[in-house]
Structure formats: C-alpha cells, structure tokens
Amino acid sequence: MEQSPLHAQYGSMVYPVTPLSASGTNAAREVPLPPGEGGPSTGYSQFEGEHLNEDDADGDSDEEHERQLKGGSRSGSVESREKQQVDGKVPVRKKPRITLARGGACVVCRNRKLKCTGERPCKTCQKANIECRYEEIPRKKPRAVMLEERVVELEALLAMRGIDHHDSEHRSLSQTLSPSEQFSPHDHISAHKPSLSMPIIGNQPVHVRTPQPMVNSSTETDVIPGSQLEQALIQVVLPHMPYLLMPVHPQRFLTLLTLPAHDLQRPHPAFLYILFTEAVIILEKNIPPPNQPRLPHSLFPHNFDPPPLPLTDTTWLLPHVRGASLAFLERARRELDRGIRNVDRPYDLARAAIGIARHLYGQGRFIEGWNIPVSRLVISCGLHRMTGIFVPPDGSAGPTELMPKPYAHPHVYLHSHSHPYVPPHGPRPLPVLRMRPVIIPPPRDEIDVAERCMTFWSAKQQDWQAGTGWGWSISMDDNECTTEFPWGRGIAEIRPSNTLDEPFTIHDLHDPASPIHGLPFPDTPYVLAVKSMGLLHRASHLFDLPISNLPMTHHETRVSPSHIPPLAAVVEVETSLRLFRARIPPALADPPRPTAGQEPYDGPSDPWWIQTHMNLYTAEMMMWKEMAHHQRQAYETAVSCARAIVGLAQRLRPESWIHLDMIVALDISLACRFLYKEADRLSSAGQVQAASMAIEEADVLRGCLAGEYAKWLPMAQLHSLIVQRVREGWPEKEGEYERV
C-alpha cells in the first residue's frame, strides 16, 4: 500500500537536532534507579572498578569529621601509621584517595556505585566508551524547614476558618446547634458545628463553617452558599473550567449560584467543592487565565469568543485558602458518595465525578481516578445518547433565559416512543414492552442541551485518555455513543444557527462514506481536538484489538503472531486519519499555510490547536508502526511522525504549556519512548551517529516533560520518570505487568 504524500512533511530519516529553547533538556532531571532489584541491566555490565557505597562514590564519608567534632584530635589512619613505625615495618605508600564533594560523581558512577575520578569524562566512562554526564542532585529539605512549612500551612487553615492560632485555645466554640446538627446523647465526642466568620474583607464578611474534627476523621470545611468566599473561588476557576473538563454556560452557572442553598436547582455541593479544589490550586500555582487567540474571521464569521465575566478582586483570597485543596477534594468525594446514595441531582454528580477523576489523573493517581464512577453516571443520565431535542417544562417555546424554569411534573415528559406503535401493515397497535429510562429529566432549553452535550464529551475525552494511556478497553464503547459532536471553543453555548445540520457522531468520524468529511464549514480548534482524541484512541487500540487474540493466516499461508492487527484494521485507521487531515483549514494546519486574504492564526498560543496536532502525530506514529508488520517501509514513516512531535514541541513557548490537556503529556511520552527504543535498534545495527541523534531528540521531549510542563501538570513529571526508566532499560512503571 502506498503511503500518503501528506506524510512527506515529516522529513527523511536523517536526524537534524535543534536545541530546545526555554524548556530544553537542562530542565530535565534524571532519577537514579537501584541497580539490582528486580530490573534488567542498565547496560553498564562492562564496567570494572571498585564498588563503593553511595557516600564513597561522591566523596569521603563523614566519620573522621564526626570524630573530630567529638573531641578526637587524631584520626584512625594517623594512629595506624604510627603503630606501624613503632613495629619497625615500613608502611606501603598508598595511592592518594580521590575526594569529591558530595554529589560530585557522574551519573553513571553514582548509579552503579563506582569510584568516580571527577574528570570530564571520568576514567570509568572513558574506559567504557560511554557518555559521561554530571547532574546536580536535588537536595532534600531539612526536617526543620519541612516542619516550618507545615506550621505555616496549618496556620493558614486556621486563618481560613476564622480562628486566630494565638488565642484558639482560649476561644469558646460552644454554640447552639440547629435541629439538623443534633447528635446522639450516647456520643462521647463533641460533634458541634460552630458557625464562624472570617475577618471582614472590605465591608462584607466571608463566612466559613467548620465542624470540629471527629476521631479518625479529617477536618471538614464548609463554604457558606452565597458567601463572598464562594463567589471569589468561582470567579477564579470559571475561566479555566473548559480545560478542567467541567464546561458550563458561565452566565447561567453564576445565575444558579444566586439561589438559596435549599433550592434543588442550585449546583450540587460535590460539583462546587471540586471547583473550589481547582480554584485553590490555581491560586497557589499562580496559573494565569487562558488567553486564546482570535479565530480567523474569514473561516469563523460567528464569534465563538466567550462573553466577558464580571471582574472581582481576588488578591485577598490566597492567604485564606492556602493548603485547603486536599480538604476540599475530600469533601467533594464525600458529597459525591452522599449524592449517589440519595440520587440527589445526578447530572451535577456526573459533572463532579468527571472533575474529581480528572484531578486524580492530573496528580498521577491513575488507578484511583480510573475507578471513579464517571461512565456509569453518564450512561444512567442518558448523556451518551442525546438527540438534541429539549422539552420546555411549561410546553411553550419562549426565549431561553439565564434562570431556567423548574422541571415540570413527570407526566409532562411522556415521549412518542412510550406510546403504542402502529406497524405500517398492521390493523392494531402493538404494546410497548417497557420505557427507555434515564434518571434525569430531558433538557429544558438550548442551554441545557449545550451543557449536557459538553459534559458528555468531557467524559468521553477522559474515557479515551485512560484507554489510550493503558491500552485498556474503554468504559463507553464508541459504537454505543450517539450524542452529536460539540461546537464552539470549549464553553457551553447555544449552537449557532449557521452550523445547524445533520448531527454527526463518532461513527461518522470512522466512516469514509459519511457526509461529515465534506461539510462546507470548518471545525473550531476545540472540536478538532475532541475528534483527534477519538482518532488517537482508535490508532492506539490497534495494539490490543480483541480479534488479535486469534491467529491469522494470510493469503500466502503465512501465520502472523497473535498480537499483530490485521492489515484491514490498520488501513481503516489510516483512511480516517487522512480524511480528517484533509478537512483541517490551511490556517489551522501545522505548520500553518494561510491562503491569500486569510488572517494568520497563532496556533502555539491555543491549547486546543497544540492538542490536535500532538494527537494526530501520535496516532499516525502508532498506526504506521503497526503497518510496518505488513509493509516494512512504513516503519520509517512512524519514526518521522515521532520527529514531527519533537519539532512541534521545540516551537512551543513557555506559556504554551500552561493549559495543555494531560493527553499531550501522554503523546510526548509515547514519542519519547519510541525514539529511545529506536536509538537502541540503531545502536545494535552499528549506526552509532544516528542512534546518538535519536537519543538527543528523545532527550528534548524528556526535557519538555520535566521542565515547563511539569510546573503546571504534575503528571508530566511522572511521565518524565517513565521515559527515564525506558532509557535505562527498566520496566516502564512499577506495579504494572505485561499481560500474558
């Protein structure tokens, strides 16, 4: 099969190396691994020399220094020499010991616990004919400093709850309990929930209610509904919500927050507390709000820019909430569990579950995030099979308002599929066996439709991310999901009239005959990013197709190994990727190729644009790698795709990494691992120079993961450790095993 000319942009197999700018390899830090516990050799078995402990590898131990501090005036070595002179024996002159400062040994000698000479290159590396690198060991914080930081964190928590830590022991917390806060007289532990007030900010007090901690229970922090603290936290997180997989209609969301706490139209506490969690992290890391470039007006006449939000001074907020993200997260998880048990506002629970799982994934807590009940809530709410139809509660089709009308009585929501069906040639209607149930009412208006559509695609993106990251089966099968693709730039908004057309689903993305490939209007970068993630997962799934468990016989009676995908499956993915690339406007391509009279687009400033092209390069890399099992020359194209990821990463600016989705970290990690393994292949084939260039390009990607990206996304740092293990020849992650 011929490769598409489109892939000529990846370049040839020659490895030109361009140094990374601000986020280069200098930002990467390698973590030395233990050399003998359950892992393969790191490739240094040819070393010879005296094995030392870690202190000896970096310099002399501190025993003599400690002896002098205790009052000893002479070292043991001096006493030994004097004793030899008294005995009449001539001491043998020993070679002077090389003493290095702690941490002064090269990486190789430090990892293998060999004596290092401290030269550049050292004698050990020079003898083994390998690269000698010196890296500074990150110093651990002294225990006193760690305790001081913990004290500051606890004082901040006390300040957030309105308790002065100097007189907290003398303050009486006994207050009258409300009826809902009564406890059993048999309880021997106080369960009071005093209502406290923050110091007055301006003219308005900020209220925080803190229950007293129970035994074996974490402290629970209540943000009073409608308080200035709640409003300020929401104002902080609202611009970031599309990138946190929790998109809302901003104006409606703010309107619903004005409702009293007992109103069931108000957002559920589980959803609010995960938003508070992200708001605290945004404040602590000083994450700037996103600033997307304007779309070319010639391509997108409809203005997709979000409306301006009311400005609120939040400079006073950080001292009051510093260190509270963990408490808010645990509160969100408890509220989610309580809401599921009570079936309380399940749509909000689905949004909260998506946000909690995304937060755990971003922190590198993969298994924990996988087991959050996201897909079950989405399916039970029917979000995966939306039709785009809304049912006004009062039966009228008036204008959409920011404050929605309350849901009507359940009998109002009877639909046509619940009535008896009359067959075309039958005299009598046939009875309906059962209804098609969901646990939330249908949308009330167009804003409801938009929010639910965006919520589903947030869950589906998360499903694809986890499936691609592990190669596991996804929770919501693509063929089972019929909700139409989203629109806009990431927030929930009423669908513009010029895009109303036949709704297209995931099935159309992989169907070469679907009209989706010939639509007259282009997709926004956000929509391109969503679709590219679906293509990425489909390419990744080639590595673990269910049909690959069966041996396959080719027309020449050759039997392939069971893990090789059939050629037809690979060709289907290649066709989908080619048709998708053909629909990307030249102004949004990489590199951009704007036509005459078309405004240029600053792609590296748009996280959705970066995600789209990272996903496409990675999907093509994996697809051509599987194609190489059937066509040998396709392997070179796979390597070129990995090099295209390197080129794109080098063109990104430091601020480009701030709001990137975690799928980009996986894209870079997969390309980096592939280049390291390609370097091993080239080295074993005797192509030393090409292998060295491949390693340098892989180091560029590893530097991206450990540099600016890790500053904003902790999971990027974890991926840098994974690729470092691959480079050293170790298994990718501890606690994960190859399926047999």
pLDDT digits 0-9 by tens, 480-528: 999 999 999 999 999 887 665 678 999 999 999 999 999 888 999 999 9
> Is the same domain home to 254 and 118?
no
Q: Is the pLDDT of residue 229 over 80?
A: yes
Question: What is the token pair recorded at 387?
Answer: 């039709």
> Is the same domain home to 89 and 229?
no
d(CA 255, CA 351): 18
Could you tell me the maximum CA-CA distance found in the chain, to the nearest angstrom?
125
> Is the same domain home to 237 and 113?
no
Does residue 268 sit within a domain? yes
**Cα 498 to the chain's mean position, in Å?**
34
**Do 679 and 689 touch, CB atoms closer than 8 A?**
no
Top-confidence residue, 58 or 95: 95
Reported as a single tens digit per residue, the pLDDT across 535-558 is: 999 999 998 888 766 555 555 555
Q: Which of 131, 29, 23, 6 is nearest to 646 (CA)?
A: 23
> Is the same domain home to 321 and 439?
yes
Q: Please, what is the angle between helix 607-627 and helix 634-651, to 10°?
A: 160
**Under the phi-then-psi rule, with left for phi > 0, alpha for psi from -120 to 50, and beta for the rest, what region is 308?**
beta
pLDDT level of residue 596 (50, 70, 90 thresholds): confident
Please name the helix (run of DSSP H) or strand (run of DSSP E) that holds residue 536, with its range, or none: helix 525-541
Which residue range is the domain that position 96 belongs to? Answer: 47-128
3-state secondary structure of 208: strand
**Do 622 and 543 touch, CB atoms closer than 8 A?**
yes
Please name the helix (run of DSSP H) or strand (run of DSSP E) that holds residue 207, with its range, or none: strand 207-209
d(CA 41, CA 47): 12
Does residue 289 sit within a domain? yes
Q: Beta partners for 430?
A: 421
Instruction: Please give the span between the terminal C-alpha atoms of the chain, in angstroms, as a whole number.
Output: 32
Pairing mode of beta strands 207-209, 195-197: antiparallel
> Is the same domain home to 235 and 88?
no
Q: Please, what is the angle between helix 607-627 and helix 567-582, to 10°?
A: 150
> Is the same domain home to 337 and 456?
yes
3-state secondary structure of 697: helix
Give me the phi and psi of 201, to 5 degrees please: -105, 115
As for how many domains the chain has, the answer is 2
Does residue 405 sit within a domain? yes
d(CA 267, CA 260): 11
Q: What pLDDT, on a 0 to 100 scale, did the predictor assign at position 337?
A: 97
Please name the residue that has the structure tokens 């869950």: 459
Does residue 446 sit within a domain? yes
Residue that terminates a domain, selected from 426, 453, 471: 471
Does residue 63 sit within a domain? yes
**Do 43 and 131 touch, CB atoms closer than 8 A?**
no
> Is the same domain home to 100 and 249?
no
Does residue 375 sit within a domain? yes
Dihedral of alpha carbons 41, 47, 52, 57, sign:
negative
**Do 736 and 683 touch, CB atoms closer than 8 A?**
no
Residue that terminates a domain, selected from 128, 156, 171: 128
Name the amino acid, one letter, at 627.
M
Query: Which of 207-216, 232-241, 619-628, 685-694 is predicted least confidently?
Result: 207-216
pTM: 0.72
Does residue 490 sit within a domain? no
Question: What is the token pair recorded at 45?
Answer: 């078995």
> Is the same domain home to 91 and 232?
no
Q: What pLDDT, on a 0 to 100 scale, did the predictor assign at position 255?
A: 95
> Is the same domain home to 332 and 227?
yes
> Is the same domain home to 101 and 231?
no
Q: Please, what is the angle between helix 688-706 and helix 714-728, to 10°?
A: 160
d(CA 202, CA 312): 13
User: In whole numbers, what is the pLDDT of the chain averaged over residues?
Assistant: 78
**Do 301 and 379 touch, CB atoms closer than 8 A?**
no
Does residue 186 sit within a domain? no
**Do 115 and 56 touch, CB atoms closer than 8 A?**
yes
Please name the residue that has the structure tokens 């110091």: 199
d(CA 563, CA 106): 41
> Is the same domain home to 276 and 374?
yes
3-state secondary structure of 201: strand
Highest mean pLDDT among 90-99, 402-411, 440-449, 498-507: 440-449
Query: Which of 34-43, 134-143, 627-636, 644-653 is predicted least confidently?
Result: 34-43
Query: Which of 520-524, 558-562, 577-581, 640-644 is predicted least confidently?
Result: 558-562
pLDDT level of residue 721 (50, 70, 90 thresholds): very high
3-state secondary structure of 586: helix
Residue that terminates a domain, selected from 111, 128, 145: 128
